[in-house]
Amino acid sequence: MIKKLHLYIIKEFFSSFIFGVSVFSLLLILQMAFELVELALSKGVAILLVLKLFLFYLPNILTLSIPMAVLFGVLLSYGKLSSDNEITAMKSSGLDYKTLTMPVISLVFIVSIFLIFFNHFIAPIISNHSKHIYEEIITKSPLAKFNEKSIINIGNYNLYANKVNNKTNTLFGLSIYKFENDAENQDKKNQKDILSKKDKETWRISAAYALVKAYDRGVQLILHNGYMQKANPSNLSEITHMTFNKYVFFISFGEKIKENTISIASIQSPLLLKIIDEYKRQGTPLSAYINYQRDFWFRWVFAIAPIAFIIIALPIGLTTRRGKAISFMVSLGIIILYYMLFIVSTSLGEKEYAPLSIIIWLPNFATIFAGLYLFFKMAKK
């Protein structure tokens, strides 16, 4: 009897949970979906590459959508049981709240264990693959990063184009900027270029149009009908102006992209801990490695979040009657409060008002305490 009841409750929760994962994942990936559609339709990127990028991006959404779906699933499933008077009937049969909630609590603990492993080991691998796919997209479709009338950064340069033609790989009304504070990052292999003889100078190139060719290590811009201006930092009134009919300019973005692929999100937690410990051993200020520490604790906080959410969701679901729309709105309200606390706690940790490894748990602790309060209040009735 009890076994069948547990299976029934798990079935109700699981269907609501899957529905919640679908809804919240869709909401989180919506912006990404628009960008991917634009890559395929407007930027001329191969559909197969776009689909691969989407598939590798999708699992990372689960880190956020699964905790949200747990909250929604509990509210909806237990709210439905309460609405159908099934909770009342079960309690009349002598069943206590522990019997009614234990199967779902056990299932959510398994979900949290999965998220711990996923966030620390699987997600970094997926993130690394998605970076490599993005690198492949940029290599094969060099104009994929370009939007008309907006400034983008490639390598050490800022580029602006009035018009972009993805079919012919042509940029119209192109301006290329490099400022004095970028000089330290100047590619040493570009020393023979006429623009890098005086690295500390600020300069600009403007061309009527430029043909773009992609290579493994960067892009080649074949500039037509333009001019170059250099300013002397020690004397701003001293400007060199040169015109040209054709000028070939190479931007070595390949190395830049490869550096970016080794991002914090792509590092598995054991290596992340070693990096953090090495910074601490050397007595480095926290500001130098705060991003590593923050990302490491993010993975823990979001993995434990389902447990915090079920503790607050169970007393609400057991004592109220609600449908999908109301359950979704209540879930959304709790999630907004949770993430507001998360932002505040992270900010306090980053500004060193409190240890990041402790203060970052504030949203989980607050949610758990609120849930326990509601449990005790429910038990007294």
Model pLDDT for residues 222-243, shown as the tens digit of each residue: 899 988 887 666 665 667 778 8
Count of domains observed in the chain:
2
More confident: 3 or 69: 69
Q: Look up the domain containing 67 and give its range.
A: 2-140+263-380
pTM of the entire structure? 0.70
- 258 within domain boundaries: no
- 189 within domain boundaries: yes
Q: Are residues 289 and 375 in the same domain?
A: yes
Q: Are residues 8 and 101 in the same domain?
A: yes
Contact 295, 272 (CB under 8 A): yes
pLDDT in tens, 258-269: 444 447 888 899
Q: Are residues 293 and 372 in the same domain?
A: yes
Q: Are residues 11 and 120 in the same domain?
A: yes
- 150 within domain boundaries: no
- Mean pLDDT across the chain: 80
Q: Are residues 337 and 277 in the same domain?
A: yes
Domain's final residue, options 222, 251, 280: 251
Q: Are residues 315 and 357 in the same domain?
A: yes
Beta bridge partners of 223: 210, 247
